[in-house]
Chains A and B, each alone.
Chain A
Amino acid sequence: MADLSSDPKALSGRTGFPPMNRHDLMTALATRWRMVPVLIALALIWTYFSWANPLFISPRNLSNLSLQIVVTAIVALGLMFVLVIGEIDLSVAASGAVSAAISAGLAVNAGVDIGIAILVGLGVGAGIGALQGVIVTWFRAPAFIVTLGMSLILQGILLDLLPEGTNLISLVGTPLGKIATLYLSPGMGIALLGAMTALYGFLSWQSWRASHQQALGGSLLREVLLPTAAIAIAGAAAVAVFNAYRGVPGLVAFLLVLLAAFSYVTTQTRFGLYLYAVGANAEAARRAGISVPFVRIAAFTLTGLFAALGGMIAAGRVLGVSPDSADTTLLLEAIAAAVIGGVSLFGGRGSVWAALIGALVIGSVSNGMLLINASTQTRLEVQGAILTLAVVLDALLSRRGGAR
């Protein structure tokens, strides 16, 4: 019922202000409209590159672009959990590479079943995350340095794990090496979209019906029908583009399902709420009876798990694990993606979709710059400028609309 512009007289203690003042606008931008400036930026980037080189919006390029961002988006999704509780993890690239090396080593060199090898790798990633969480929580050591140190250790371990001489575990011809070439059939793509839209529609209808039963009001059109229709239309456009090339890439479908699942976890469950509570005010969370150490360690564990997942997919895409797998470019791009997408470095704010949108911004700039034959210098300068702008926006919103 009440939106920002309604009922000015209820502005107790601040009478005389216009209903929608500057503070309200900043608050809205910092919370529910946080994606708006990012989506505008993305639209501008796409418009520019499409104008500069029409190949940019060809189904083939967009399909490749979406495959290029999967690893960044998954690692950024993992980073979101530590960023929301106000911490950071600089070890994600190295821990992803180590996990991938262990999985690949087990599957290729030791002949272990691929499913078990992947589970072991994911467990290793989660374990690395949990260990860092324990160190940061129990010893109150700054996460910045703990995870930086861990990153160095893991880079060393990676070199130990790789075979001497070649320094490479090849995934050519293995099931893991084929994951980037899997595409859903056109029908399956449409079915996936239909299932996800229906699930979203069902869950939002359930919420609407519950608040209706409690006589809280709420518009069916605004809370259920319009958002569901928006998802259906955007999804249909994306599936149409993918189907014009080879169909929805399997990895992209996997990423979207993962994002949807963790969107549910972060917005609908207690655990998700506690992440945001701890990020904003750990002392208040503790006094409310929340186990702050558990939430912290769980956040680091999830970050490690997603880093391992990202590392394995990266290995599958480049068909092997090498010392380059721990390259810091992935770390920097994943942090940049999360921040560009609106995850606050000050803790307490950001959604899982930030990972997707932020990775799309970064990926579009890299991809478009290649298409217009821009130099590496120019590409780095533009990406750096976008990241800086995003951080400035974050600081501005934290100060004006958020905590202080």
Chain B
Amino acid sequence: MATHTPPPVLEVRNVSVRFGGVAALTDVSMVVWPGEVVALVGDNGAGKSTLVKTISGIQQPDSGEILVAGRAHAMKGPQDAAAAGIQTVYQDLALCDNLDTVQNLFLGREICLPWWKGRRMDRARMEKRAREVLSDLDVKIRDTRVPSSSLSGGQRQSVAICRSILANPQVVLLDEPTAALGVAQRKQVLALIERLKAQGRAVVIISHDIGDVQQIADRVVVLRLGRKVAEVTRGGYSRDELIAAMTGALDAAELAALRKELAHG
């Protein structure tokens, strides 16, 4: 691959993870450039979640390394990944239903007044910042003071994504962001991912939905049984090819040959 100046914002280099005798990831490499959406696809057990956990610092690789903006980071936990500029939004369990949008956005990093003002939370400043983040990403919440339980699924997912943006990360990892959403809500979340991209952030998304992947991803990394079996760019693959690569009906060489054929004929 041609050498870009500046380095890729995220690089996974020859990462392997083993759980006892089981190889969850074997020698996986991938790069992500700023302002790019990369989809990780694969069947159940392909290693997508393990790869995301490795990038987000929850799982330490047995070999290989993770580079952020060209620098290797030995990440011992999610805090290290966050400090390096990587935020992860998990499929569920992201919000507290009884807290409102502002409280959820700032949970764990509230802005407080100094002790001589009673260590009160500075609600006004948090609300101001929350509205800025929401409007930057064009997320519509009609009242940031109602509990999150009264938001729609799409709004909840959007709030969870905005929550990760507050730390101004370079890389956002999204684990199944559109799972369990209706058509209109799915659209909202996909549009939000486009806006993250427009802000120059790199987005890595796990998805089971080939339609989503085709619509949103600039590049697709296909994992199967812990190995990277294919990597294709937007427009360079068909739905059937992608499924074939995921299920192992085609191997990487066959897929490359097919792709060449497609490109030339």
Residues of A within 8 A of B (CB): 2-4, 6-7, 10-14, 23-24, 27, 30-31, 203, 207, 210-211, 213-216, 264, 268-270, 273, 276-277, 279-281, 283-285, 287-290, 348-349, 401-403
Contact = CB atoms under 8 A, between A and B. Distances in A.
B107 A288 contact: yes
Contacts of B110: 270, 273
A112 B118 CA distance: 35
B140 interface: yes
Contact of A281 (B97, B118, B124): B97
B49 interface: no
A289 B79 contact: yes
Contacts of A280: 96-99
- Please indicate which of the listed interface residues A11, A273, A403 has the most CB atoms of chain B within 10 Å of its own CB: A273
B20 to A, nearest CB: 25
Nearest to A15: B184
A402 B185 contact: no
B169 interface: no
Contacts of B109: 288-289
A277 B96 contact: yes
B146 A284 contact: no
B96 A276 contact: yes
Given A2-B143, A23-B150, A403-B97, 18 more contacts: A7-B142, A11-B142, A12-B140, A13-B155, A13-B185, A27-B146, A31-B147, A207-B123, A211-B127, A214-B125, A215-B128, A270-B110, A273-B107, A284-B93, A288-B109, A289-B109, A402-B97, A402-B98
Contacts of A30: 147
A362 B32 CA distance: 63
B188 interface: yes
Chain B interface, >50% SS class = loop
Contacts of B154: 12-13
B152 interface: yes
Contacts of B147: 27, 30-31, 402
Given A27-B149, A216-B128, A273-B99, A284 B107 contact: yes
A123 to B, nearest CB: 24
Interface residue range, chain B: 35 or more
A211 B99 CA distance: 19
5 contacts: A13-B184, A27-B146, A273-B110, A273-B121, A281-B95
Nearest to A273: B103
Contacts of A31: 98, 146-147
B187 to A, nearest CB: 9
Contacts of B152: 12-14
Nearest to B144: A2
B182 interface: yes
Contact of B127 (A11, A216, A288, A290): A216
Nearest to A278: B96
B94 interface: yes
